C-alpha cells in the first residue's frame, strides 16, 4: 500500500508538471497570436502613412535626384523594416521548432490531467492576467522605441509575423520606383521643351554696319569665330574701327543673355538668369584698308546652362563725345549660343516647376531677398582680385547669383587727360552656401585690369534666383561707391620741354600732386611740385650735350620711369677774327670757336670754308682778291648756331 501510494505520488507530481508545462505553452501561443494581430494593425498604419508620404513626394519632387537628407532617411527606414522582417522570420522559425518539440513530448505522456487542471484553475487565471498586462505594455511602447526581434525572442516577448513587414517593403519599393519614374518623365519632357526653345533662336556671328552713314560710325563690323559654343570654350570677337576716327585706346565686349522685354516664346528657357561676361583689350592693329581692328577673348565658365547671348562692343579713345558703342539687339543683330552643358544637372539645378511650360505649379513665388553685400577691401590696386560677398534670404535653395559693376564717370572730365577709362565688370556663381542663421551666402570675384585708372567703382546691379525660378534684382545707386581703385605704382606719363645750354629751368607736364626731380651724374640739380598738370623746375645752367635724368614720385613715394633730356647747344660761336688782306693775299687766317666751321663770302658768292681746329685756329686758302673787294666771314657750330658776321676790305 505504501509502495502504491509512493508510486501514485510520483505519478501525480509528474502529471502536475506536465499540466503546468502545457498551460505555459498555451499562454505563450495565445500571447504570440495577440501580439501578431496588434503588430499587423500597426504595420498597416505605417504602410498607409508611407503611401501618403510617397504620394505627396510625387507632387512636390521636381528634380530627378532626391536631396541627400531625404534619400538617407528613406534608405534608413527601408533597411530598418527589411532587417526587422528578416530577424522576425529567423525568430519565428526557432519558435516553431520549440513548439513542435514540446508538442511531441506532451503527446508521449498518456496521463489524464483533468484533476490537476481543476486544482490549478485559480493560479492559471492570475498568470493569464499578468501575461496579458505585459502584452499590453509591449504594444503600447512599440510606437516610441525601436525593437530588436532577437532581444524580444530571448525575453519571450511577442514577435510580429513577416507577412505584414514584407507587404510594407513591397509597397515602399513600388511607390519609390513610381516616384522616380514620374520625376524622370517630367524632367525629360521639360528638357525637350527647353532644347526646342533654344533651337528656335537663330544664331548670327557676323555684323556689318550698312544702315547708318559710316562717316559718323566708329564701329564698322563685329564678328565672332563661330556661332555655337560649349561651356568652357573661348569666344573670340573681332571688331573693325573707323580709320577716320581717333585710334581707340581701349575696347571691351560684353556678352549678355538674350532676353526680350517681357515673356516671349522664342526666348531662351532660363528666363530667371541674366548672365553677363566681359572681355577687354588695349591692343589694336591696322588692316590693309586702313581701319583699326582688335581681338577680344572671353573665357566661358564651365558651369553655364544652355543659353543665347547678344553682344555689345564699346570703344574708348579718351574723348567723351566720341565714346563709340555698338549695342547688341539694337545696333547689331549678333546672337551666339552656349549649349551641351555637361557640368550642371539636367535642368541646371532648377526644379521642373521653375519653367513657364511646366505642368506643376510653383509652391511659392517670392524671390530671394538681399540682406547685404560687401567687398573684402575698400581700396584696390590694379591686378587685385575683388571679392564681393552677398547675403540673401529665401525659403528655397538659391541656384544662381550675378553681380555687375562699373566705373563711376568723373563729374568734370577733360578729354585727352588720360585719367579715365569707362569699364564694366560682370561675373556669376552657382556656389551658394547656407549660413548657420539660415541665410544664403555667395562670393563673386573680379580681377582689376592693369591699365585701369584711379577712380571709384559702383554697383550696376545684383540678380539672384532660387531653384523655383523666382528671381530678384537690385539696380545701381550712383550715390553708393562700392570701392575705389588707386594706382600705387607710378605709371603716369609726363613730359619735359627742351633744355638749352643757357636754360635756368625745366618746364613740362605731369599728373597733379606729384613731385618731379632732375639729376645729373646721380646728383640732384632740381625739384618741383606738379600743379594743375604743369611744373616749372629751376636748375643751374648746363653745358651743351649734358644728359639730365628726370622722373616723378607719387604720393606713395613710388618712382616713375626715368626719361633723359640732352642739353641742346643754343649758344652761337664767338665772332671770328681774320688777318689783313691785300690784292696779293692768298690766305685768310684767324681764330674762332673750336670745331666750328668758318665761311667766307664775297657778296652772295662763297669763296671758301674751313674747319676750326681744337685750338680755335683756322687757315683758309683763297684766290687773290681785287683791291676794294669786301669779304664777309662768320662761324657756325655743330648745332647750326651762327656767329655774328665780320667784314674785311681788301686794301
Q: Could you give the dihedral angle defined by the CA atoms of residues 191, 192, 196 and 199, in that order, rounded to the nearest 10 degrees? A: 70
Taking alpha carbons only, the member of 4, 28, 21, 26 closest to residue 111 is 21
Decide if 197 contacts 265 (C-beta within 8 A): yes
What gap in Å lies between CA 62 and CA 596, rounded to an integer? 96
Q: What is the mean pLDDT of the chain?
A: 79
Query: What are 52's three cell numbers?
Result: 501618403
Write out the E strands in 572-623: 587-591, 597-602, 605-611, 617-621
CA distance 621 to 608: 8
Q: What is the pLDDT of residue 358?
A: 73
pLDDT digits (tens, 9 = 90+) for 58-83: 444 444 444 433 333 344 444 444 44
User: In this structure, what C-alpha cell is assigned to residue 649?
Assistant: 676790305
Q: Is 222 helix (H, G, I), strand (E, B) or coil?
A: strand
Number of other CB atoms surrounding residue 606 within 10 Å: 11
**pLDDT at position 196:** 86
Determine which helix (DSSP H) or strand (DSSP E) holds 314, and give its type and residue range.
Answer: strand 307-316
For residue 255, which of 196, 221, 300, 203 has the smallest C-alpha distance?
A: 300
What domains can be seen in the chain, in order of their start residue? 2-177 (no CATH), 203-343 (2.60.40.10), 345-487 (2.60.40.1930), 505-566 (2.60.40.3110), 587-649 (2.60.40.10)
Residues 6+ apart with CB under 8 A from 182: 58, 61
Q: DSSP state, 412?
A: S
* DSSP secondary structure code for residue 593 in this structure: S
C-beta of residue 251 within 8 angstroms of C-beta of residue 424 = no
Q: pTM of the prediction?
A: 0.57
- Enumerate residue ranges in the chain where pLDDT < 50: 1-14, 47, 51, 53-161
Longest dimension (CA), the chain: 201
Give 365's Cβ-side CA count (13 Å radius).
Answer: 2
DSSP 5-21: HHHHHHHHHHHHHHHHH
Please, what is the Cα angle at 38 between 34 and 44, to 5 degrees?
A: 145
The H-assigned helical ranges of 508-648 are none
DSSP assignment, residue 359? Answer: S
Return the number of other C-beta atoms located less than 10 Å from residue 414's C-beta.
12
Confirm if 310 and 331 have CB atoms less than 8 A apart.
no
pLDDT in tens, 137-165: 433 333 333 333 333 333 333 434 455 55
Q: What is the pLDDT of residues 195-247, one digit of tens each?
A: 888 888 999 999 998 877 777 889 999 999 999 999 999 999 999 999 999 99
Amino acid at each position: 500500500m505504501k509502495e502504491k501510494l509512493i508510486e501514485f505520488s510520483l505519478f501525480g507530481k509528474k502529471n502536475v508538471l506536465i499540466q503546468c508545462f502545457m498551460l505555459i505553452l498555451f499562454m505563450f501561443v495565445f500571447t504570440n497570436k495577440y501580439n501578431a494581430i496588434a503588430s499587423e494593425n500597426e504595420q498597416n498604419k505605417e504602410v498607409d502613412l508611407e503611401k501618403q508620404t510617397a504620394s505627396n513626394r510625387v507632387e512636390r519632387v521636381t528634380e530627378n535626384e532626391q536631396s541627400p537628407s531625404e534619400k538617407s532617411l528613406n534608405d534608413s527606414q527601408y533597411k530598418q523594416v527589411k532587417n526587422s522582417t528578416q530577424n522576425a522570420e529567423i525568430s519565428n522559425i526557432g519558435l516553431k521548432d520549440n513548439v513542435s518539440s514540446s508538442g511531441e513530448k506532451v503527446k508521449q505522456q498518456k496521463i489524464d490531467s483533468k484533476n490537476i487542471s481543476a486544482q490549478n484553475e485559480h493560479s492559471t487565471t492570475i498568470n493569464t492576467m499578468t501575461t496579458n498586462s505585459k502584452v499590453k505594455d509591449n504594444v503600447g511602447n512599440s510606437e516610441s522605441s525601436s525593437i530588436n526581434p532577437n532581444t524580444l525572442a530571448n525575453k519571450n516577448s511577442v514577435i510580429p509575423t513577416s507577412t505584414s513587414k514584407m507587404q510594407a517593403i513591397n509597397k515602399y519599393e513600388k511607390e519609390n520606383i513610381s516616384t522616380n519614374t514620374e520625376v524622370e518623365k517630367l524632367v525629360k519632357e521639360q528638357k525637350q521643351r527647353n532644347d526646342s526653345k533654344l533651337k528656335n533662336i537663330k544664331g548670327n556671328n557676323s555684323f556689318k554696319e550698312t544702315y547708318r552713314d559710316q562717316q559718323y560710325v566708329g564701329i564698322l563690323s563685329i564678328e565672332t569665330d563661330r556661332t555655337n559654343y560649349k561651356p568652357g570654350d573661348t569666344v573670340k570677337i573681332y571688331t573693325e574701327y573707323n580709320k577716320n576716327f581717333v585710334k581707340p585706346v581701349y575696347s571691351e565686349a560684353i556678352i549678355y543673355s538674350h532676353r526680350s522685354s517681357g515673356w516671349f516664346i522664342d526666348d531662351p528657357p532660363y528666363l530667371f538668369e541674366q548672365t553677363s561676361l566681359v572681355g577687354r583689350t588695349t591692343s589694336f592693329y591696322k588692316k590693309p584698308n586702313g581701319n583699326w581692328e582688335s581681338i577680344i577673348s572671353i573665357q566661358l565658365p564651365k558651369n553655364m546652362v544652355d543659353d543665347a547671348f547678344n553682344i555689345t562692343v564699346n570703344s574708348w579713345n579718351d574723348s567723351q563725345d566720341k565714346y563709340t558703342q555698338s549695342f547688341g539687339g539694337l545696333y547689331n543683330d549678333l546672337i551666339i549660343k552656349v549649349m551641351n552643358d555637361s557640368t550642371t544637372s539636367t535642368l541646371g539645378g532648377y526644379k521642373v516647376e521653375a519653367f513657364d511650360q511646366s505642368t506643376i505649379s510653383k509652391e511659392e513665388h517670392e524671390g530671394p531677398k538681399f540682406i547685404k553685400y560687401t567687398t573684402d577691401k575698400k581700396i584696390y590696386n590694379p591686378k587685385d582680385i575683388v571679392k564681393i560677398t552677398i547675403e540673401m534670404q529665401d525659403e528655397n535653395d538659391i541656384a544662381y547669383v550675378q553681380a555687375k559693376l562699373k566705373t563711376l564717370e568723373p563729374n568734370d572730365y577733360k578729354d585727352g587727360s588720360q585719367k579715365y577709362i569707362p569699364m564694366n565688370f560682370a561675373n556669376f556663381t552657382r556656389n551658394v552656401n547656407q549660413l548657420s542663421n539660415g541665410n544664403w551666402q555667395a562670393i563673386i570675384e573680379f580681377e582689376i585690369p592693369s591699365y585701369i585708372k584711379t577712380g571709384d567703382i559702383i554697383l550696376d546691379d545684383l540678380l539672384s534666383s532660387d531653384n523655383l525660378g523666382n528671381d530678384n534684382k537690385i539696380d545701381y545707386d550712383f550715390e553708393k561707391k562700392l570701392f575705389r581703385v588707386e594706382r600705387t605704382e607710378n605709371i603716369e606719363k609726363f613730359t619735359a620741354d627742351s633744355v638749352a645750354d643757357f636754360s635756368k629751368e625745366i618746364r613740362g607736364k605731369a599728373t597733379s600732386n606729384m613731385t618731379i626731380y632732375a639729376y645729373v651724374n646721380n646728383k640732384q640739380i632740381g625739384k618741383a611740385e606738379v600743379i594743375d598738370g604743369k611744373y616749372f623746375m629751376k636748375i643751374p645752367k648746363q653745358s651743351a650735350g649734358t644728359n639730365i635724368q628726370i622722373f616723378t614720385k607719387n604720393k606713395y613715394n613710388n618712382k616713375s620711369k626715368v626719361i633723359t633730356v640732352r642739353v641742346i647747344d643754343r649758344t652761337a660761336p664767338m665772332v671770328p677774327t681774320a688777318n689783313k688782306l691785300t690784292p696779293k693775299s692768298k690766305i685768310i687766317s684767324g681764330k674762332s670757336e673750336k670745331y666750328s666751321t668758318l665761311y667766307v663770302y664775297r657778296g652772295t658768292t662763297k669763296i671758301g670754308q674751313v674747319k676750326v681746329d681744337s685750338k680755335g685756329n683756322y687757315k683758309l686758302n683763297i684766290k687773290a682778291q681785287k683791291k676794294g673787294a669786301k669779304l664777309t666771314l662768320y662761324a657756325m657750330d655743330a648745332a647750326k648756331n651762327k656767329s655774328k658776321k665780320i667784314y674785311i676790305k681788301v686794301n
